[in-house]
A and B are shown apart, each in its own frame.
Chain A
Amino acid sequence: MQKKYSWYSLLKAGLSNQDWDKAIPLSKPKPKYDVIIIGGGGHGLATAYYLAKECGITNVAVVEKGYIGGGNTGRNTTIIRSNYLRDEASSLYEHSMSLWEGLSEDLNFNVMFSQRGVYNLGHTLQDMRDIERRVNANVLNGVDAVVVDHKEIKEQIPIINTSKNVRYPIMGASFQARGGVARHDGVAWGFARAAANLGVDIIQNCEVIDIEVEEGRVKGVKTTQGDIMADRVGCVSAGHSSVIAKMAGLRLPVESHPLQAFVSEALKPILHTVVMSNAVHGYVSQSDKGDLVIGAGIDGYNSYAQRGSAKIVEHCAAAILELFPIFSRVRMNRQWGGIVDVCPDACPVISPTKVEGLYFNCGWGTGGFKATPGSGNVFAHTIAQDKQHDLAVPFHIDRFTTGALIDEHGAAGVAH
């Protein structure tokens, strides 16, 4: 495997159309590692990468039950922003944003991070008051944000419907210019490749079936490819976090729900930015390929099936069509669901557990993709030092016992 892509290596392989090396080596598990990361999604791979790069721990395995980029990392709507209300949350997401801004160069892999801006629409007076409060909080926290009115929105996005004669007229929006989108599965491949280059083993098709705990300390994991020992285990398995926790005799304050999205056929460029609305519940952007990427909400019931109810899709489509009547004849190509683990306060858990050496990074709910580099970064430091990274401290699992919740439900433009 070539270590580094360069314009020369791409030109050489491109002209001959051979010499394309494997992007990621296929690894088999060794008997023992310093750290095992359960879950080869974006967050897990980012954790492994920062463990190797910033913490000097390279004897690391990432075990993934499927294939890299095949879980939620490849199922989300790729929106990236950091305009959260609460200090704790906005610090964490802004940390992530600053890593996104240098990520392609850092990973030597084009993650196609495109800062095309994100609009969070307001449709009522109360929406606008909340937006102004959030924008003020963002500015105080050093996060770029402005309030825009409906005229400015119409100027920027001519195809949007700002008529007053609709059920939920657009009154204004918050706008984060540094927000945008990235190539989601590319993010997973980029982190996997960069981590592998630093010595991390990426082990695909390797499902964890049990966690070995002895006298309150983690010893390793049992997998479908045999037993693997480790001093520390980090669990980053999104929708299946409760299942993994149960293996170690733990309970979590999360529930798993299906979250749906769909994409249209490819169109010529028509929408140059990202538009989200909590009130009518839909969000949309256009990928570089040209398809409209549309995200819906979660179903209220628990599920581990990667599909949801048609009524959620219908509700979302209705909302998108009221915002963009021009999309009414667009044909949809694919529709799917992913399983998200939702915390009661819509904030993640990045925390040690009662089992020594076992750490959890879960509960990202519907908005984990934007946090990928930041989440991996603070979780890597948390595992390496056996002490929470400063930015992760408020996200300790004990907050559900002490009551120090970080109430981002409805406050941060979090779509639920």
Chain B
Amino acid sequence: MSLVADAFVSQIAAAEAWPENAALYQPLKGEQILLSDNASSLAVQAFLKMCNLPCQVICRANAEYMSPSGKVPFIHVGNQVVSELGPIVQFVKAKGHSLSDGLDEVQKAEMKAYMELVNNMLLTAELYIQWCDVATLEEITEPRYSSPFPWPLNYILAYQKRWEIQRKMKAIGWANKTLDQVFEDVDQCCQALSQRLGAQPYFFSKQPTELDSLVFGHLFTILTTQLTNDELREKVQNTETLIDFCRRIEHNYFEDHVKDTSTSDLLRLPKGPSMH
């Protein structure tokens, strides 16, 4: 979207208050959603809960194609449609809600750097494991991704997606990495996050920011998702501070809404939805 359109959208957005019927769209929870999409969706849900903005989670098999950017999740607020965490944070800010207003410029820059780290390392690693590791691809990713489509569309669309991700991996130089190298990257990323977190409850002391929601979305999903092997989960489990961090956010923002059908079954450590 152009800058002018961007500015226009945020101006319109500012004019209207957050409606009660805001909705977040994601793929079908039980049989379709993939680890990476679930992580991104959970990050946005956590962010909105931290902002104390109500949002209903709606599962649609065609959520990916409904999204203006082709990526899930996206939110439908009033007559606006915004996808992915970054633009959603901007959009919510235009409505007068922000988690990072209390930070100074240095802290903001640091927060952005860590968010980039999570997107570049954790998200890319999730995509790599889903689409480039043959065992995961055949056992989990392809059957789940193609579950809403009839034959032969299921093969065509899964192949298209696989090709797209593999091309992306080539472009960023991950195509030649081995699975072990990817796990090593995840491990380093977790170490870095754990060190930054230290003994604080959130990354920037007492108040959560969008970085906290992003880290929570990814780590929690990794911890609660059953893959073909447990190595990815073990990398996260090695860092005690991060597990505590996940428990804290779950406790503070999700547990009092356990009756909320959207997230209740997802968020009980250490058990979680099996991806098989």
Task: Note whether A and B form a binding pair.
Answer: no
A interface residues with partner B (beta carbon < 8 Å): none
Residues of B within 8 A of A (CB): none
